[in-house]
Structures are given as C-alpha cells and as structure tokens.
C-alpha cells in the first residue's frame, strides 16, 4: 500500500514507465513488488492490468536472501473507477491508490481531490495543463 511505502524504499528509482496514457485516470494503485531485475517490464500476476512500473538505477542492491529487487508496480483492478465509474470507488479510492500525476521517480505520490472522487477545486484546475 502506498501508505506503507517509505521514500527511502524508492530512492534508487530513475524512471517510471507508463504502459498507457495516465491523463484520464483518476488514480492508480501502487505496490512494491519483489522482482528479479532492476529494469525491464515485470511479469504481472494480478487481476486487472498493469499500468506502469519503476526502473531502478545501478545503486539499487538486491535482497541478500532472495536476490530480488523491490520495485514499484502501478495497476488497476476491473472494479476500479476507470472501468466502473458508478461502482465501489465512485467516491473514495483504495488505500494503495494515488493520483498518478503526483508520482515521480523516488516520490511515492499522494491522494488528491481527483483521486478521491471529489470535484477538483479551482486551485487544482488552475494547476492542470
């Protein structure tokens, strides 16, 4: 869950790769997955779809016990707001969800009015391109 992701766990990120246009998504779910490599598209074993993933720099060290790297993966489930706008998350958002536009390498992102399903404030509308 994003609330459980600490900035020091993602300090070695150098880029975020998006597999689709995130401008129309109110939120994405994020998790730290144990993956065999620093870079490249990870295998995806959840319901729903992978929306993006993080790439790690050469300073990222593998786990001593498993040899894996902890990398962020961004994803959505079939009942999320993008495919079911009047469903479970018509308002509110999953605990691990953040506004994708607040994400950057090494930054865990945050919830916004948009990600929580509320109307955007005039201040937020002015910040949007």
* Encoded tokens for 112: 């916004």
pLDDT score of 1: 44
Asked if pLDDT for residue 100 goes beyond 80, the answer is yes
* Residue keyed to tokens 């790439």: 55
pLDDT classification of 74: cutoffs 50, 70, 90: very high
Asked if pLDDT for residue 78 goes beyond 90, the answer is yes
pLDDT classification of 124: cutoffs 50, 70, 90: low
Phi, psi (deg, nearest 5) at residue 3 = -65, -25
Q: For the chain, list the strands marked E by DSSP.
A: 13-18, 28-35, 49-56, 69-76, 97-98
Asked if pLDDT for residue 119 goes beyond 90, the answer is no
Asked if residue 31 lies in contact with residue 73, where contact means CB atoms within 8 angstroms, the answer is yes
The fraction of the chain above a pLDDT of 90, given in percent, is: 76
Asked if pLDDT for residue 127 goes beyond 70, the answer is no
d(CA 4, CA 87): 26
* Encoded tokens for 3: 């609330």
Phi, psi (deg, nearest 5) at residue 41 = -75, 125
When the pLDDT of each residue in the chain is averaged and rounded to a whole number, the result is: 90
Residue 80: how many other CB atoms lie within 10 Å: 23
* Encoded tokens for 88: 């479970």
Asked if residue 71 lies in contact with residue 53, where contact means CB atoms within 8 angstroms, the answer is yes
What does the pLDDT look like over 25-64, one tens digit per residue? 999 999 999 999 999 999 999 899 999 999 999 999 999 9
More confident residue, 13 or 6: 13
* Encoded tokens for 89: 């998350």
């Amino acid at each position: 869950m994003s609330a459980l992701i600490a900035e020091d766990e993602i300090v070695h990120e150098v880029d975020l790769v998006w597999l689709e246009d995130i401008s129309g998504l109110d939120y994405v779910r994020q998790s730290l997955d144990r993956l065999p490599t620093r870079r490249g598209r990870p295998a995806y074993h959840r319901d729903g779809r992978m929306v993006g993933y993080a790439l790690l720099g050469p300073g990222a060290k593998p786990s001593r016990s498993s040899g894996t790297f902890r990398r962020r993966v961004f994803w959505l489930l079939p009942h999320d707001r993008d495919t079911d706008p009047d469903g479970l998350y018509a308002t509110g958002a999953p605990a691990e969800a953040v506004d994708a536009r607040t994400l950057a390498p090494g930054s865990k992102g945050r919830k916004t009015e948009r990600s929580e399903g509320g109307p955007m404030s005039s201040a937020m509308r002015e910040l949007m391109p």
